[in-house]
Amino acid sequence: MKIKLLPNRYFSFLFSISCFTFLSSCQSNPKRSSGHAQSLNNSVKIGILHSLSGTMAISEVSLRDVVLMAVDEINAKGGVLGKKIEPIIKDPASDWDLFADKAKELLSEDQVAAVFGCWTSVSRKSVLPVFEQLNGLLFYPVQYEGEECSKNIIYTGATPNQQLLPAAEYLMSDAGGAYHKFYLLGTDYVFPHTANKILKAFLKSKGIPDANIIEEYTPFHHQDYQNIVSKIKKFAASDKACVLSTINGDSNVPFYKEFANQGMSAATCPIMAFSVAEDELRSMDTEFLVGHLAAWNYFESVKSEENTQFVKAFKAFCVNKNLPGGKRRVTDDPITWAYTGVYLWAKAAEKAGSFEVDKVRNALFGLDFNSPDGLVKMDLRNQHLAKPVMIGEIKPDGQFDIIWKSDGLVSPEPWSPLTSHGKGCDWVDHEGTYSTF
């Protein structure tokens, strides 16, 4: 059989087409172009990155739940830019390295438009390089230590001047008890260490001597507080003392229990907590917690129509989805800012007319939202949220009596002038962190 040979130019043409197709399909940029958000068909993907197991599940499970509630609400109203939101959930299991791996999956494989997640600062620090490298957008809902100004993080939680410092100042005031001895107790990681560095600088600036400040740390999931409470008891015996607590996760349960077991109370030595809210109190015996304090920017007991509707909606959502706790579930500060973050993202995307990260980020500057806490507003320059500051006293039912509130919204200070004098955060006129000198 005679075989007819094709001309060489034909094979050259096929080879050229094949190479072009192969290179086009394989070409990739390690940094996603301006938030390469995929909105396939009639949906847009977002990521939820919270620990659903491990030591931080006590706090983070509810953040997943409220983000899903916000998604349902927005989808019921038509979605964002005509597209329904499709949540992709990852469980980093309280493993800080796993947070980074899961973040990369969400951005690279799932191609989400934004991620809502993290609680601890070490988890946020773990994922930060991933978001900056891949140009993703993380909405971070928990109070933190400041000293950070990332282009790829929207900080809806509090900066030190929106929680730590007002709390310390309140305790030093006549209304707060005029305390002048402070035991700084925290979990051994970045937030408590940096928070206490700022708190110590503040206390010393107010005339509190070094001898009246003790600083101590315990590991995550620490359970035995007998020796530490004994030291606090001795410290408080001679003069008016209080505890500033940055203990995180399930370690709060044995700490408060041991505090009561040794006869300590809010009357003898009040605890001002920065990481204990209504959701953590659900799993604690509140009989021994009455009178102790917490500083936040929201409490479930806030009196407003918006908050009443929010609390009712969250309880109903938990019942309808058969979530543990059902109608006994509560709202708290991080829950509120996780919820607010989803609405801020949706509102910014609508304003930008796009899901692209850079366009959404720019649309967030100065954006306001009528949250369960009232009207709050994104800063005009630094990707943090201006909001009120509150101090609450624990009641027998696990709720808080709001005993102090700031006058209006408090603007965020990512870099504290107490420990980072001369530094500012500005993504409009500067490239993030800059010198104010």
Q: Check residue 31 and give its pLDDT.
A: 53
- Where do the structural domains in the chain lie, given as residue ranges? 43-159+303-392+430-435, 162-296
Instruction: Report residue 192 CA to chain centroid gap.
Output: 14
pLDDT score, position 35:
40
* Three-class SS state of 228: helix
Rounded to 5 degrees, φ, ψ at 67 are -65, -40
> Residues in the chain with pLDDT < 50?
1-30, 33-37
Two domains, one topology: 43-159+303-392+430-435 and 162-296: yes
For domain 43-159+303-392+430-435, give the CATH superfamily: Response regulator (3.40.50.2300)
Q: What is the pLDDT of residue 101?
A: 98
Distance between terminal CA atoms of the chain?
Answer: 87
121-134 helix and 96-104 helix, angle to the nearest 10 degrees: 30
Residues 6+ apart with CB under 8 A from 264: 229, 232, 233, 236
Q: What is the pLDDT of residue 40?
A: 55
Task: Please tell me the total number of residues recorded for the chain in this structure.
Answer: 437
Nearest to 211 by CA among 185, 183, 187: 183
pTM listed for this prediction: 0.89
| Domain 162-296 CATH (choose: 3.40.630.10, 3.40.50.2300, 3.40.50.970, 3.40.50.300) | 3.40.50.2300
- pLDDT at residue 15, as a whole number: 40
Residue 437 CB-half CA count within 13 A: 4
Q: What is the pLDDT of residue 41?
A: 76
Q: What is the pLDDT of residue 288?
A: 86
